[in-house]
Amino acid sequence: NRGIFSVIASKIFKFVICVDLQTKYNKCIDEIMSSNNQKNYEIINGIIGNLELKNAFEFNDQKIININELIKNKANLEKIFLKIDIEGGEFKLFDVIDLGFVDVIVMEIHSEMGKVKEILDKLNNNNFNILCYNENLEKINYPDKNISFVKAINKKLLTQFS
């Protein structure tokens, strides 16, 4: 399913950044984007995070990507959408991420690897409307310890559509 989510996002958002650890998926992502006539994307190979996270992976020759620099470089775009699936690295990511330019976040959370409430509190404190789901994609109340997925939409974006 590499690239499927990106092609859907590319039809909704002005630009999609596909960050993947492994370069072997680049061709697959290029092919699915091309077959859907999408050119509004960029593939970046590396690890979003820090050296501690990088050392946890066997592909430690990849570059470390600073999420705040990546977002600020694309801030001239209409909306910033982040899809986060970084195998527990989301806790370190939310220690440093600047959510000022971000409009929508969809992420998988590995609740056994950190304090989910800290991520949700940061989203709430940065004016995000938060929806939480369990592993069966059933909507659950925040903060429930069985959270597996989170969808967060910046309230400023919601007011543009109301």
CB contact at 8 A, 98 and 141: no
For 102-139, the pLDDT digits (tens) are 888 888 887 788 888 888 888 899 988 888 887 888 88
* Single pTM value for the model: 0.71
Cα dihedral angle (88, 110, 12, 122), rounded to 10 degrees?
-80
pLDDT over threshold 90, residue 35: yes
Nearest to 44 by CA among 29, 31, 60: 29
